[in-house]
Amino acid sequence: MVPDYKCDKLDPLLSVIGDLNTKSSKQMASIFSIFKVPQWNWVGLVAPETDNGEHFISTLTPMLKEKEICLAFTKMLNTDDILNTAFGCKIHKPGEIPQKGKKPCTGKENLQTLPSYTFEVSMMGMSYNIYNAIYAVAHALDTMHGSGARPPTMRLGKRISSVQPSQKVPFARCGLKRCQAGERRHVPEGEQICCYQCAPCPEGAISNQTDAVHCDLCPEDQYPNKDKDHCIAKKIQFLSYEDTLGYTLASLTLSLSLITLAVLAIFHKHRDTPIVKANNRDLTYLLLVSLLLCFLCSFLFIGQPRKLTCLFRQSAFAILFSLAVSSVLAKTVMVVLAFMATKPGNKARKFLGKSLTNCIVVSCPLFQVVLCAIWLITSPPFPNLDFHSLIGEAILECNEDSASMFYTVLAYLGFLALVSFIMAFLARKLPDSFNEAKFITFSMLVFCSVWVSFLPTYLSTKGKSMVAVEIFSILASGAGLLACIFFPKCYIILLRPHLNCKENMIRNKNL
């Protein structure tokens, strides 16, 4: 029932030129919407070379960009050219003589005598037919009012085809591809927003709609799926006993603890033999007990981090190893002083005894206790979820809170180990019973090597691997002390008992 509207399949309409008057243009837009004329977002602007025209261009351009409407071209024409385009006749200024063959426009021509309602222009390397929209709409309105006055071949939307056959009608986008879910529109530098490309969403972000302008970040406890079109919950990661790594380290910890207990039992059973008595029996027991506790503190690092375990696991490790290294240091100092006391006139003998050893094994760990107490009071460690270090996993860890305090207690432990190593190295050739200083030297060398390699490895790992590195360092350094200091003595006690005698002890001192 729409006059002059034909549903035949025709080439798509490219554009409609509006009136110079805003009110008329809005009315035309309403009328064209009835006739299903599309409104593209890839447009060109034609305006008169006047202040109003310049204001129109400067005002509309940012508005188009805001609404994602792209500007193909901007053309400034004088008023006569605009009216000639619309009506096909020449507007003359007052007193101007019309050119021959040019009909002046009065604005009141009979609709039947208006010229062809299409004309050809060439823009951007393409040739287009542009409709005389004013004529077409006016004719349609006239027909609707029943005058019936129209050119015999007139149809709204009909055009004289002059577009070159090789040229295609431009689309509203520079490309036909639409960005799918998991992608976002990306506009290359210097291009208009219509000329976007499709780029995958960055890490941690998704898009779940077509032609998304931007991607949305997943919540910190979630991460994008493979297609980056929706978020899924992150898995909670920590070193558990069910993990192969956790189970292996727990088994190794238990084995070393049992071995230490066995050594302690052997030394206690043979406590009255010369080899046990010669190397300060009390310091030997203290060292074995401290090593046993060092191994057992590894269990504080395995399993789900909790407030109590986070609070004490680093402090327990630091204090217990300080006690173990202090025991080794006391042993070494006693060896040096015992040799010096054999020289005539040397006053070192008065320092020999339990008072010096007690002072070393109490004061050195006590300083570490003070450091740990300051740490726990000022910035105590706490359980924490790290959502950002690993993709797809949230790390449940103990946040040490103060990295400076953590490295301070490690540095003090390293200082004690270095002093023990130097003392043992200097005493390695002294004629001591079974030459224990040599074994202490090797044990401190292993201890220092383990913890020097620990730092870069620890800092380069995340999550449960970081915890596993620290547990392995605790076990390796403790095992080094146990093996280097006690295994040779156990070998003699169990397999070479004939060497565990007073005569052999005297012979070794005289060598």
Q: How far apart are CA 334 and CA 280, in angstroms?
A: 9
Q: Does the pLDDT value for residue 136 go beyond 60? A: no
- Same domain, yes or no, for 133 and 275? no
- Same domain, yes or no, for 195 and 90? no
Q: 169: pLDDT confidence band, cut at 50, 70 and 90? A: very low
| Residue 485 forms part of a structural domain | no
| Residue 158 forms part of a structural domain | no
Q: How far apart are CA 202 and CA 397, in angstroms?
A: 27
- Same domain, yes or no, for 216 and 316? no
- Same domain, yes or no, for 222 and 251? no
For residue 194, what pLDDT is reported?
75
| Residue 385 forms part of a structural domain | yes
- Same domain, yes or no, for 206 and 284? no
| SS3 (DSSP) at 278 | coil
- Same domain, yes or no, for 328 and 422? yes
Task: Tell me, yes or no, if the pTM score tops 0.75.
Answer: no
| Residue 216 forms part of a structural domain | yes
| Residue 95 forms part of a structural domain | yes
Q: Would you call 250 exposed, middle or buried from its count of C-beta atoms within 10 A (0-12, 13-18, 19+)?
A: buried
Q: How far apart are CA 15 and CA 163, in angstroms?
A: 14
- Same domain, yes or no, for 216 and 352? no
Of the three residues 428, 444, 459, the one that is the final residue of a domain is 428
| Residue 287 forms part of a structural domain | yes
276-331: per-residue pLDDT in tens? 887 778 889 999 999 999 999 999 999 999 999 999 999 999 999 999 999 999 88
If one counts the domains in the chain, the total is: 3
| Residue 494 forms part of a structural domain | no
Of the three residues 129, 144, 159, the one that is the final residue of a domain is 144
Q: How far apart are CA 133 and CA 318, in angstroms?
A: 88
- Buried b or exposed e, range 357-378, using 16+ CB within 10 angstroms: beebbeebbeebeebbeebbee
Indicate which CATH number applies to the domain containing 360.
1.20.1070.10
450-463: per-residue pLDDT in tens? 988 988 888 888 88
- Same domain, yes or no, for 271 and 416? yes
Q: Would you call 312 exposed, middle or buried from its count of C-beta atoms within 10 A (0-12, 13-18, 19+)?
A: middle
- Same domain, yes or no, for 227 and 314? no
- Same domain, yes or no, for 276 and 360? yes
Average pLDDT over residues 248-262: 96
- Same domain, yes or no, for 248 and 204? no
Q: Does the pLDDT value for residue 82 go beyond 70? A: no
| Residue 413 forms part of a structural domain | yes
- The span from the first CA to the last CA of the chain, in angstroms, equals 125
- Same domain, yes or no, for 66 and 108? yes
Of the three residues 233, 268, 294, the one that is the final residue of a domain is 233
Range of the domain at 47: 22-144
